[in-house]
Amino acid sequence: MEMPESDHTVTFESFDNLASYWLKPQSPLKWDCVFVLPAWLEVWWREFGTIARLYLCAIRQRETIIGIAPLLLKDEEACFIGNADVCDCLDFVIAPGSEHDFFNILLEDLIQKGIRRLSLRPLRPDSTVLTHLVGIAEEHGHKVSCKVDDVSLELDLPHTWEEYLGILNQKQRHEVRRKLRRLKETGEVSYRIIEDSEAVPAAIDLFLKFFRESRQDKEIFMTTNRESFFRSLAKAMAHAHLLRIGILELDTKPVAAVMCFDYNDTIYLYNNGYDPQYRSLSVGQISKILCIKDSIETGRGKFDFLKGAEEYKYRLGGKEVSLQGCQIVLK
């Protein structure tokens, strides 16, 4: 492997440092993935990161940061900070055009630290791992193995609600209108957004209640650690002005909630729950339909349903994006 150029350095960073880099207006770094924003990484590390060593490094060319590696080291393996249970995709943070230098130096540093394997997942097709690291690793004779292990669904949003309905097939368009009409015939319907940090604790209480009540598998999923993670994450993302909790109300009574993130012209539907007493009125699906409607009305360009092949995502216009896992064995 080529040795790093003399004008490149590797430094180990704090989460506070990362936050300052993210907020820096002229930073060349491309923070495409919401799940590797500094606030997210720090919350995950605080809640789940005790089983590994933190490898939060920045690679600089002279004084300019060209990339950040948010990794954990355990024995001879490196993986991303985060896990597929609560992070829908992960990646490195790199200045466009600097991928080759960044990955060459990163691999050299990891090898020097005794790392023999990188296990990286979940990865979108446009991740820097799949577009750059895989090819660089293969060039240097490392063994690379990647496979699809899940799907995500997303939707390019049109400019108007009527245009959105036109995207759906005739049956689904009829179903959306029918569900909305039936709920409105039952009582007064409202959908409101919680963004203010002071209102978040009460909103997350309601969300978690509905999350647990809506399905048994969700109740099992929401362990004490994960509840703490959700609460801390909501607080941190609200502080960063990225959190949106949508509350569906019927006659002023909350009946469903969605937890979303608003980042880079995209609304990410992270999770949802509803009051099972109103299941027959499809309040869970209607809360997501109204979330899409609100995203259109606020001018967002994309709606990301995130990981999982649930049928409703296809019915509401979602298109599949493959998610891969990649293992690189370093020679």
Which of 68-72, 130-134, 193-197, 206-210 comes out lowest in average pLDDT? 193-197
Mean pLDDT confidence for 70-90: 96
Domain co-membership, 128 together with 219: no
| pTM score of the predicted model | 0.95
pLDDT in tens, 92-109: 999 999 999 999 999 999
What dihedral angle (degrees, nearest 10) is formed by the CA atoms of 16, 19, 24, 26?
Answer: 120
> Percent of the chain, pLDDT > 90?
94
Same domain, yes or no, for 108 and 205? no
Domain that holds residue 257: 158-300
Q: Which amino acid belongs to residue 178?
A: R
Q: What is the pLDDT of residue 4?
A: 44
For residue 7, what pLDDT is reported? 85
* Cα torsion angle, 108, 126, 298, 258, sign: negative
Distance of CA 295 to the CA centre of its chain: 17
Closest residue by Cα to residue 68 from 15, 122, 140: 15
**Same-domain check for residues 171 and 291:** yes
The CATH code of the domain that includes 207 is 3.40.630.30
User: Mapping DSSP to helix (H, G, I), strand (E, B) and coil, where does residue 304 land?
Assistant: strand
**Same structural domain for residues 125 and 205?**
no
171 domain residue, yes or no: yes
293 in any annotated domain: yes
Asked if residue 1 has pLDDT above 80, the reply is no
- The SS3 of residue 50 is helix
Cα 105 versus chain centre, distance = 27
23 with 124, same domain: the answer is yes
Residue 205 has what pLDDT? 97
The predicted pLDDT at position 49 comes to 87
d(CA 44, CA 144): 27
Contacts of 205 (CB under 8 A, 6+ apart): none
309 within a domain of the structure (yes/no): no
| 51 closest CA partner among 22, 77, 28, 20 | 77
pLDDT of residue 5 exceeding 60? no
**Would you place residue 13 in the very low, low, confident or very high pLDDT band (cuts 50, 70, 90)?**
very high
The two three-digit tokens of residue 117, written as one number: 């394997």
Total number of domains in the chain: 2
